[in-house]
Copies of this chain bind each other. A is one copy, B any other.
Amino acid sequence: MDSPPLTDTDRVLADLRALRAFGRDRTGVSRPAYSAADMEARRWLAARMREIGLAVSIDGVGNVIGRDPDASRAVLLGSHTDSVPSGGWLDGALGIAYALQTARAWRAAATGVGRLGIDVVSFADEEGAFLGCLGSRAFCGELSDRDMEAVRPGGVRLREALAEAGLTGAPLRGLDPARHLAYVEAHIEQGPRLEAAAVDIGVVEAIVGLRRQRIHFAGRADHAGTTPMAMRADAAAALFALAGELGAAFARVATPTSVWNTGVVRVAPGAANVVPVEAELVLEYRDVSDAQLDRMTETARALVAAAEGRGDVAVTMEDVGGLCPAAMDPRLVARIEKAAAARGASTMRLASGAGHDAMILAPHVPTAMLFVPSIGGRSHDVSEDTAEADIRRGAEVYAAAVMDILAGGIP
């Protein structure tokens, strides 16, 4: 392995702390896409990119793109700087600070025109104030006219938010297949696995796909004192039974990366003395394999059909969303593991259970992700944090992996 320029992890921490000032919320930040705090953070980032000699633009959806003007081909590094409301200070920001410092070091060390370079991107609205991964979707040419009609809960339209953020008329910038040879993103794990295993670095093999189904139960409202049990059509009882069956059946067909959740439960009319007339369950499940997602969908369908056939409660299921799994590039995965090993950092391959911009990039360009541990697995909360030593170690491994990719040919 070539000897990379020393990573100045003090600069990484300084950049992270500077970013935290925009939309600061106790120990975290509130920087929803296109808020004043989000746009200030983007302008701050653009200024930092200019300082290190990148050609910077903020495009029509707010992506901040810094292009190495002396490079003919480049590795693209990035993540996002928007946050959920009352989110953590590292979610997205960590990957940006790593990318910025790695580009800074490369620009300081590399010479010549027509060489390989580093471009840096901060994607807009990864967190989905309007649409999850909006910026990276636009960057990959996957944003439809219909997507542009998105409306935020509360009624603000995307086009209005873009206008208010001063982005109207700015051109969209896109991935350049002739220029961009790889995309590498660092992120906090947002889960407990690295901490639980006492491992330094997570090397992402794939980002899980997800599917969501809404299951609806239509029963009959009856007086809960006067109606014999055998004469009821109890929507809640049907929901409890199906939810129990789903849990047991999913546990049987699960792969090591399968997870599922029933986070939305509604029962109406919601009175202690009225037999529930209506109930609703939103089922979400994730896996790295589309075939496994198909298997889980079939499992759910069969149980819904059996429930529907069982009694007086009508049970129906409809799709309400989904994302395809995204595989990371195995050659890039190996480079990250090699860089970690060279620095004595322990690694663990894992699937990302959360979505990331890398999931959007992966079908278009060789893509890789690196995780650092999250304390207690906390995320999407101001309590989110990562030990300083883990932040520094991740920065070194990330920089070393990128330098190795640049030095070793891509990929």
Contact = CB atoms under 8 A, between A and B. Distances in A.
Interface of A: 189-193, 196, 208, 210, 212, 222-229, 231, 234, 236-237, 239-241, 243-244, 247, 251, 254, 258-267, 269-276, 279, 282, 284, 286, 352-355, 377, 379-380
Given A229-B259, A272-B282, A380 B223 contact: yes
A204 to B, nearest CB: 11
A103 to B, nearest CB: 28
A263 B273 contact: yes
B251 A263 contact: no
A224 B267 contact: no
B254 A244 contact: no
Contacts of A379: 223, 226
**Interface core residue of A229, A254, A352 (most chain B CB under 10 Å):** A229
B191 A259 contact: no
B262 A226 contact: no
Stoichiometry, as copies per complex, reads 2
Contacts of A265: 236, 265-267, 270, 276, 279
A316 B244 CA distance: 20
The 7 closest A-B pairs by CB, nearest first: A191-B226, A225-B353, A224-B261, A226-B353, A265-B267, A240-B243, A225-B354
B251 A236 contact: no
Contacts of A191: 222-223, 225-228
Contacts of A269: 263
A89 B353 CA distance: 56
A223 B273 contact: no
Contact of A267 (B192, B223, B234, B264): B264
A190 B261 contact: no
A129 to B, nearest CB: 15
Nearest to A380: B223
Contact of A227 (B239, B270, B377): B377
B286 A225 contact: yes
A354 B223 contact: yes
Contacts of A267: 263-265
A271 B279 CA distance: 16
Contacts of A244: 240-241, 244
A284 B236 CA distance: 14
Contacts of A228: 191-193, 259
Nearest to A241: B244
A234 B284 CA distance: 14
Nearest to A257: B228
A193 B226 CA distance: 8
Contacts of A240: 239-240, 243-244, 247, 262
A114 to B, nearest CB: 41
30 contacts: A189-B226, A190-B223, A191-B222, A191-B223, A191-B227, A192-B222, A192-B226, A193-B226, A222-B377, A223-B379, A224-B260, A226-B377, A227-B377, A228-B259, A229-B251, A229-B260, A234-B261, A237-B262, A239-B240, A240-B243, A244-B244, A263-B271, A263-B272, A263-B273, A263-B276, A264-B267, A264-B272, A265-B265, A265-B266, A265-B276
A192 B233 CA distance: 13
Contacts of A271: 263-264
**Interface core residue of A226, A236, A266 (most chain B CB under 10 Å):** A226
